[in-house]
Chains A and B, each alone.
Chain A
Amino acid sequence: MVESSKKKTVTMMLFSAPFGSQYADHLCRVAERALDKGYAVEIFLYSDAVHAQMTEQNPKLFFPVGEAVKRLIEKGATIKSCEICSIARGYIKGELKDGKKDYSSTKVINGVNFCSIYGFVDMLSRADRVLSFGGS
């Protein structure tokens, strides 16, 4: 277990949807081990990776990404999903309500938040290390 007065942060980008490839599995496993070892973990879901946020995933034979996402959130990971990508894929409307963006959705795992690309840039700039999964 890493001991430090300030936790080091690893920021991970996921670019692939779950189940179609193992990238989401790899990210979840690496992220969980990072949390176990005392690092702060921030995850950005980009493009088709936003599908990892969907509730009621039920992969009978595949790595249970939805459950892994919930577990990561419970263990303290920050998971942010691309706002535009999520709107495009029907997860949120992202309309303004009382001056604030409305991100309410029954389709998104509780604890997954949304941000613009500038939110991702903020994550990247604060990270001690950055890892990408699924783009290449």
Chain B
Amino acid sequence: MPKLVIEISHSPFGHENAYAALFAAMAWSSMGNEVTVVLRGEGVHTARKGQVDPFANINLPSTEKQVNELLEVGGRVVADRQALQIRGIRAEDLIPGAEVLDPEEIRRVMMECGERFLSF
């Protein structure tokens, strides 16, 4: 099956982008397909752990739950190292299983796995 790369460049909650992207990634992955979610810019906040009941607090679904579910079914979630660094997000802040890649490695992932590419 063809591979899919989904890029998220918006942080969760302020825009629907992260949620919608992860929803599509999960559906693709649950059909036995390979997906890589690439987090860039503000999108790297999607890889931070520790969300506290977003639905109760702001009436929005938890993207942390989505990321965990995606990782459980074999999806890959990678965050841009430079984007993390300038935002002061450390490795220990990340959802276990989320990877950190340099921009050059992300480019390689896009070229190797980006037979289909969606940008959110």
A touches B in complex, CB < 8 A: yes
Residues of A bordering B, CB below 8 Å: 13, 15, 46-48, 117-118, 120-121, 124-125, 127, 130, 132, 135-136
B residues in contact (CB < 8 Å) with A = 1-2, 4, 7, 9, 16-17, 20-21, 23-24, 27-28, 31, 33, 116-120
A46, B15: Cα distance in complex, Å: 13
CB–CB B7/A124 < 8 A:
no
Q: Is B28 a contact of A121 with CB atoms below 8 Å? A: yes
How far apart are the CA atoms of A107 and B20 in the complex, in Å? Answer: 24
User: What's the Cα separation between A31 and B24 when bound, in Å?
Assistant: 22
18 pairs, A vs B, C-beta closer than 8 Å: A13-B118, A46-B24, A47-B16, A47-B20, A48-B16, A117-B27, A120-B24, A121-B31, A127-B116, A130-B116, A130-B117, A132-B118, A132-B119, A135-B17, A135-B21, A135-B120, A136-B9, A136-B119
Classify the secondary structure of B's interface with A: mixed
Identify 20 new A-B residue pairs, CB closer than 8 A, beyond the known A47-B20, A120-B27, A132-B118.
A15-B17, A46-B24, A47-B16, A117-B24, A118-B27, A118-B31, A120-B24, A121-B24, A121-B27, A121-B31, A124-B4, A124-B116, A125-B31, A125-B33, A130-B116, A130-B118, A135-B17, A135-B21, A135-B118, A136-B120
Distance A46 CA – B22 CA, assembled complex (angstroms): 13
* Most chain A CB inside 10 Å of its own CB: which residue of B9, B21, B27, B117: B27
Give the complex CA separation of A48 and B1 in angstroms. Answer: 29
- Give the distance to chain A from B65, nearest Cβ to Cβ, in Å: 16
A120: chain B residues at CB < 8 Å are 24, 27
